[in-house]
Structure 1
Amino acid sequence: MRAHCLITLTLSGLAAAGWKPAIPAAPTGHEWQAASPGDSRSPCPMLNSMANHGWLPHNGKNIDLPTIQSAFENAMGFAPEVFVGITQSSLAVSTTGNSSTFNLQDLAFHNAIEHDGSLSRNDIFFGDNLHFNPLIWAATAARYGIRIPFASSVITVEIAARARAARVRDAKLVNPKFNLTDAGSSGSIGETSVLLTAFWDPNQGGVPKDYVRVLFEEERIPYAEGFTRPQTEHTLTDLVAMITAVSAVRV
């Protein structure tokens, strides 16, 4: 009892003195900075977040494979081989004039990497498949349970898989020219799987909702919410296992 009182008094004193617990900071040199006018950004919140933190060029331009590999490895802990294929698809729609580089905005080219039924972007039929769409994201966030009081603090594989499938169904209902190709469907599942793999907490069996919220809404890596680069790399085998798990969920 005495020890409890001492701890309580100590914490009260620290609070009165303005003390606050340490909040994890972004690595030195990788503090968040919003995109400036003229910077290139993509339909992908993770790529945009890495550019905003300087893991990718902040202007989002002239990005090559080694830069992608370095960014995903150093920021998110993915092994270099994981994003070779997707980078090659990005280079195929490059507007830089250099076949070995691309700009982030190039990824908005429809049905190359970008696809109908995005979790946070509108379909190209409606005119803007590049920028964050608050209404579409609100539906996804609701399905993730991000703002539901007293709910679990994590998004499980099942929740993420069903939210993805529900967004595709929504898009199909309202878009008279909805066209999710086989490649686009694989990409949609892959994107959810990358998100889950990057932020997975094995102790909780899911990804923290706060991490996902700030990634999509602020295009910021959630360092302040507690994210740190994992000690063990995420391999291609890890990602394939997550893709298999997402695909196996009955939706």
Structure 2
Amino acid sequence: MPQTLDSPHAIPDDGKNHDFKPCDKAHSRGPCPGLNAMANHGYLPRSGTNIGFFALKSGLQQVYNLSFPLAAFLSGVALAACGRGFFFRTLDLEALGLHNKLEHDASLVHQDAAVGCPFAPKEVDQKLLQQLLTYAAPGHGMTLDDFARVRHDREAQLQVPLTEQLEKNACAEAVITWLVLKQEGSGEVPLGQLRQLYGEERLPDGWKRPKKPIGLFEALGLVKALIEKVAKLRDPWKQS
């Protein structure tokens, strides 16, 4: 890992090997680059299967410095929506691709699910990734306003609008990405880091997790703000 153990941004050392290893065909992966990256680095089972609540919650805290409440909330939602077994107690990453559960059309870097297909594509569409990166101003990274414009433009191409809940899911993904990767001071996500996390599903070279834990209410507030930004782009006269 690029961080040193004495860095305030370092991922806590658990004594395991966390070198990046691309998944193979036997591994379970879904359309969430952040969780796929965790599995590709061994912070989740590299197989991507049989992931329990505590393993998922702890991994989100360890790697991305999500607070306990936020990590627990996201883990609980994922298992409740896509888990299997008694009380949905384990998760395979590929199950996150179940169409219109948590996954949705108008993804930032994935094609929409084919008509009648229960799963969305888990492979990153490189064309969509390149389009995403063009939303940043020249010489700058991605701001939250840039993510709002991407979300607006992707959703504008849909024949059937996203439900209110799926739009929240879509905006939550963008918000968590921004909170985890944004640089202190500028509030911008470096394009190279976004390309590696989304395009290669690996932790970016030189990436440092946020100094302070990312809180649940902080994230929820920004999701609401991003939804409002997208709504204003649809209707510039809309009042917040």
TM-score range normalised by the length of the shorter chain: 0.7 to 0.9
Please identify runs of 4+ aligned residues in structure 1 that moved more than 4 A: 23-28, 93-96
Residue 3 (structure 1) aligns with = none
1:39 aligns with 2:27: yes
Mapped to 2, the partners of 1:131 and 1:179 lie a distance apart of: 23
1:184 aligns with 2:173: no
Question: What's the offset of the Cα at 1:248?
Answer: 3.5
2:156 paired residue among 157, 169, 183? 169
5+ residue gaps, structure 2, are 5-10, 234-240
Q: Which amino acid aligns with 1:168?
A: E
Preserved contact between residue 78 and residue 234 of structure 1 (Cα < 8 Å): yes
Mapped to 1, the partners of 2:47 and 2:144 lie a distance apart of: 33
1:199 aligns with 2:191: no
2:104 paired residue among 115, 134, 149? 115
Mapped to 2, the partners of 1:121 and 1:210 lie a distance apart of: 19
1:80 aligns with 2:60: no
When normalised by structure 2's length, the TM-score is 0.82
1:238 paired residue among 218, 221, 229? 218
- Please list the CA deviations of residues 9-62 of structure 1 after superposition, one character each: whole Å capped at 9, or x if unmatched: xxxxxxxxxxxxxx6578662111100221000111111111111111111111
The count of corresponding residues between Structure 1 and Structure 2 is 217
Question: What's the offset of the Cα at 1:96?
Answer: 4.3
5+ residue gaps, structure 1, are 1-22, 146-150
Residue 194 (structure 2) aligns with = 212
Residue 143 (structure 1) aligns with = 135
Q: What's the secondary structure of 1:207's corresponding residue? A: coil
Mapped to 2, the partners of 1:31 and 1:65 lie a distance apart of: 24
When normalised by structure 1's length, the TM-score is 0.78
Q: Which amino acid aligns with 1:55?
A: Y
Bigger shift: residues 80-89 or 178-187: 80-89
Bigger shift: residues 58-67 or 128-137: 128-137
Mapped to 1, the partners of 2:197 and 2:134 lie a distance apart of: 16
Mapped to 1, the partners of 2:63 and 2:79 lie a distance apart of: 22
Mapped to 2, the partners of 1:57 and 1:48 lie a distance apart of: 10
Preserved contact between residue 156 and residue 207 of structure 1 (Cα < 8 Å): yes
Residue 123 (structure 2) aligns with = 131
- Please list the CA deviations of residues 142-197 of structure 1 after superposition, one character each: whole Å capped at 9, or x if unmatched: 2246xxxxx23321111111112111113x1xxx5x45221110100110000011
Q: What's the secondary structure of 2:90's corresponding residue? A: coil
Residue 41 (structure 2) aligns with = 53
Bigger shift: residues 113-122 or 207-216: 207-216
Q: What's the secondary structure of 1:186's corresponding residue? A: helix
For the structure 1 residues 133 and 182, does the alpha-carbon distance in structure 2 shift closer, same or farther, using more than 3 Å as the test? same
Question: What's the offset of the Cα at 1:208?
Answer: 1.5
Residue 237 (structure 2) aligns with = none
Residue 7 (structure 1) aligns with = none
Preserved contact between residue 31 and residue 97 of structure 2 (Cα < 8 Å): yes
Preserved contact between residue 102 and residue 169 of structure 2 (Cα < 8 Å): yes
